[in-house]
Structure 1
Amino acid sequence: MASSRVFLLCVALQALTMASTLSVLPINTEAVDVQGQTVCPSSSCGLLQDIRYPFRKQGDPPGCGFPEYELVCIDNKAVIHINTGRYFVTNISYTDNKFWVVDVNLDNSSCPIPDRNQHPYIYGLQLENMSLLYPDALSWAAFVSCSEPIRNNAISLSTSFCNNMYKPVDCRSEKNSLVYFFITSSPWVGDIKPSCRYLSMTPLGSWHVRVPNNASFEDVIKFMRNGFAIRFPEKSEDWTYHWIIGTCLYDSKSYFYTQISSSSILNRTFAIAGIDLHFLKCVNDYSYRTKLFWAAVTIISAMDIVKLMIVLAILSRLVFAPLTVLTFLAYKYWKTRISIDAVEKFLQMQQALSPTRYAYTDITAITGHFRVKLGQGGYGSVYKGTLPGDIHVAVKMLGNSLCNGDEFISEVSTIGSIHHINVVCLVGFCSEEMRRALVYEYMPRGSLDKYIFSSERSFSWDKLNDIALGIAKGINYLHGGCDMQILHFDIKPHNILLDNNFTPKIADFGLAKLYPRDNSFVPVSAARGTIGYIAPEMISRNFGVVSCKSDVYSFGMLLLEMAGGRRNLDQHAARRSQTYYPAWVYNHLTRKELGQIFEAFDIHEVERKLCIVGLWCIQIKPHDRPTMSEVIEMLEAGVDGLQIPPEPFFCGDEQNSVTTSSSKFSLELSAISEGE
């Protein structure tokens, strides 16, 4: 009921506005007779006779003609201003509604072109965008200034009228400013050569005359001196202020009643809100920015302010008060809802922290039918998924080769209840017949290997030290922070994942084993791990027993790769002595200690620390390696307090380091990998 009242009030106000506009607008009546037609005597200027409406001479009373058609008589020649140029009016045809003009500047030059400050005829020959004046011409001459000579291609010389054929204006050209012209059929310049800039353009002839595209500059001068025709509005006797206002009022009324009678709410809204703009646009079209237009703007603006005040008074009583109450109730509901949503999100996150068993259909829904694939490995494929509460996860689908369940059982049993900042969290799992999946927290930065082996160093040395320290803390937690001792057996860059803040997390526990914490000896039936990171005792018991020191060895190899930014074994190294990085860096570190550097060896202090700690970790005998807690102390300490470790068996002579390690140790690894 309230909205209908407001609507009817707006309709009444609009009707009142339209009814009163005609009586309020200041119509100029100084030169208007009782029939509404302008009473102005005809005049002349030189050979130009019978100058009358819509033209006016300078000094005529207001209301005689339009200001845009004002003629100034200079030396018995009638001059009219169009755009920024001045033109002689040579003839007026009231029958055809045309008049002919010639550029004033043509009389003062033997090599005439239009003034450079004249506007381009983008939408016709206009007076400051005034649409009352427009040229009646088929052809136009455009003048440009170029910094280099223009050569017309074969197409321009032989075919269509639309192609711009540039012709020189030698009498206006200078060394660094060559003037050209071309003939176009459009009243706008369009594209010009890259080395050129626009100067000016002018119409040629009338609507019945088309200038050929290959016209010479002399031909263009003849057309320019003959002038061109310009149309003026038909029925000019009706173009009085009364006629403009009456026409626009009638048009606005028709628009209002058409829109208001529509069944569309949108059209009714336009009828109320847009009628004033519709009326002003009409006045602007017929009398562009004249006194009549500005008077209409002033009066309608004042009326709109009054209407707005009345509408606001009604709205404050019928609408704003109920709206304020509804806003307050919505705010209270929103605050309550936020509290409920926060509790629900917390409960969902708490549920996600404990491994949940999912059905295979749940896995399909979580991954969006396995739409986004993150990676592929020997274990199977990893897909990105989303849990309720917008929690992103990574879903590892175990391949058929792993369906005996060993890796699946190992991962679920080892990290199912582990919660550590440097160990990846197992969110859930799925096991239905031969289909098995593991659901982990999502690590957006991926694995460490794509950063440390890139061509450009991705981390600062301090950040690299922080990452190494985080990995060491994660391994130390596995070894001594749980009820059961967890040995990972596969520490390598690919199994170190990074979150948004580049915090490292140990992942992939498929080869891990659980043992009592007091056991120093770990029985294993076969070697476990990745070639290049496997501890020697995993290959042969002659090196020692398998224990938590086996993970220390793998961590040491990882540290050396992080420090060197390359894989430890590089068959494509530039020099043979650099093929095996641990041997190369050990020999250079020891020589630097003795002051025997025989080649440039520039090393950062953090890189030196990581290398020394890594060399301690890869000692051949397990009892010579530090524990992970000791490794953490070394990484947190400065480099000055670290001593160079004893020489591993593969770090002897640089020239023999690769051959000795390859012939004795790497061959055993290759044999094992073939056996697997």
Structure 2
Amino acid sequence: MPGLLLTVLLISLLAKETYVATSLDDENFFKSCSPSRCSKHGPEVRFPFRLATQPPPCGAPGMQLSCSGQDTILYHQVLGSCKVTAIFYKDLVINISPPVDSSLDCPLQRLISANLSTGAYKPQKLDVASLVGCSRDPIPIDLYGIVGPVTCLINKAIKFWYLVNPDAYMSVLPLDCMVVSKDITIPYTSQIDYSDFFIIPKKVEHTATFEYRASKSISLGETAFSWYSSNITSVCQQCEKKGQRCGFNSQRDQAFCKSHGMQVIQIAASSVAAFVALSLMLATTIYLSLKSRYNEEINRKVEIFLKAYGTSKPTRYTFPEVKKIARRFKDKVGQGGFGSVYRGELPNRVPVAVKMLESSTGEGEEFINEVATIGLIHHANIVRLLGFCSEGMRRALIYEFMPNESLEKYIFPHVSNISRQLLSPKKMLDIALGIARGMEYLHQGCNQRILHFDIKPHNILLDYNFNPKISDFGLAKLCARTRASLP
């Protein structure tokens, strides 16, 4: 990290009194509070958790664990002495299995009826299942993300109970089924969260993984909790994500990070100028050092999506091919929030509009949304996506060309009198009906309902005959066709 070393050197010249020292208190913390396990294969216990055999400063308040034979135990105020099955320090999640209660024949009932939040813990919401009840017809258990039936739950009006993956298509459920609860906490597992993509044709997830965790909740009542402590949680999470251990200095009353095998270095300055310089320089250094990694992560997400999307139309082009189609980006016809639009021509001389997406527009959501929503749609009132490009951080979308631009040009008085010259009341009515047909198709005609979220005159394009076409699906989302009503 040459940039970081240079930053530290500059700070030392600016500060009136700068020192680099190893804090004895911090070093003593890691000596006195080393990571522990109750068994060889049990979860590692480290700050903010501590075992009962360690001194109180080794853990945060209310986060004491203990050993019972080979098991790691957490005492929960509602569930009692629970076995800890896993701890995810980066995600602030702990999986626990409540004790077996012979008087309670339905472990899942405890996760539904009781308020399980305590001072330090609350049910995590990263991995949840929907509780679905059916009054007459059972659900085929071979469907995606369906686990059950849960035979121990009793309700006179509901005969069949299931835990359902919230991402499963609810339209496959029998008509008499309804969602009773959408937030049943199941055991957590650390994995890539493909929901960052906003939308994706099918959830890229192993069904067996959900089935296994949901089955554990049904049979054992196993669940997961998030933990929180105001002065340590965010600091420790950042430490863990950087591969560093987290500690706590009781004199300063704050958590801190320490790299494995390295001294804890503290940099202190006695003047406000030095502190400001430190903040600005470190921010710049961190930004420059992480920018390339951030871009690689975005590109990885996009490529995972494209792999799941498959090889169907529209066509995928290379960036040199896009440059040739867009005539080296010489004819710019528009500018939007996500990038610039250029006029171009396909090899078969079909005119097109090429939208180049800027690298600073989020994490690939706009690109993924457009390809996933309109890539396979063919409708007279929806702009057609003919191709796309994704090479590194360079991404482009290629649409059919709309020579009469957007509806915005014709309905606002500040854009001359062209609206009164070209658009008669009958034509305006035809345009409104066309937009309505396009919206109806998105909501009712597709395999999955598409919500556009950004319908406005600027996103209604007009072809040679002034027929309207809905465009710009960057904010769109797919919505399951559920007939199940919420209670």
Same fold (TM over 0.5): no
Structure showing the higher strand proportion among its residues: 2
Structure showing the higher helix proportion among its residues: 1
In the superposition, the TM-score normalised over structure 1's length comes to 0.25
In the superposition, the TM-score normalised over structure 2's length comes to 0.34
